[in-house]
Amino acid sequence: MTKTQRQHRISDLLEREIISTAAQLVARLKSEGIAATQATVTRDLQDLGTIKVRDLHGSRRIVIASAPTVSAAPVDHLRRMMGEWVGSVDCSGNLVVIRTPPGCAHVVASALDRSALDGVLGSIAGDDTILVIADEHLGGSTLVRQFRALAGLDDLAVTKKGRKQ
């Protein structure tokens, strides 16, 4: 099972069941034949942006944060996702295009959206491409430099078409 598949299953479990600790989640996953350590599940919970809350019945449970009052995900998470999945970053005006391997754009876009970076108005993810709209005062070229730095891409080695020279 891939990390993405495991995290998707964790999301499903958190939506349907009252789970209050990573240890409970490890046991629940094990009952479904999914092997994962508590450290792995804890990282998954962090990647998913979970928080602990009290539900309407007073039970403590882990939920995926969706309220705008929840603090932004750390930039380190975005750096990890971009470093792992981003192949190129280019722009035209205030539109930034990020290329990823097929099937990976949503992972990076989710991390980008949860990071709440200044100057990012929003993003749209396809299969292997993300369109990011930059604030017109910041501009796309500034975001490109930030995204390339986060992804560990060498500006000098990347051409406008995203291919290495």
**Domains of the chain (ranges, CATH numbers):** 3-64 (1.10.10.10), 75-157 (3.30.1360.40)
Confidence (pLDDT) at 77: 83
pTM (predicted TM-score):
0.54
Confidence (pLDDT) at 15: 87
Confidence (pLDDT) at 155: 58
Confidence (pLDDT) at 73: 60
Confidence (pLDDT) at 28: 96
Pick from 96, 144, 141, 99: which is nearest to 121 by CA? Answer: 96
Planar angle of CA 68, 136, 81, nearest 5 degrees: 55
Pick from 100, 123, 127, 98: which is nearest to 112 by CA? Answer: 123
Exposed (0-12), middle (13-18) or buried (19+): which is 91, by Cβ within 10 Å?
buried
Confidence (pLDDT) at 113: 85
Confidence (pLDDT) at 93: 94
Instruction: Profile the chain (165 residues) by mean pLDDT over runs of 10 residues.
Output: 92 91 96 95 92 80 67 74 93 96 90 85 94 92 94 62 45
Confidence (pLDDT) at 71: 47
The CA R_g of the chain, rounded to the nearest whole Å, is 18
Identify the three-state secondary structure at position 95: strand
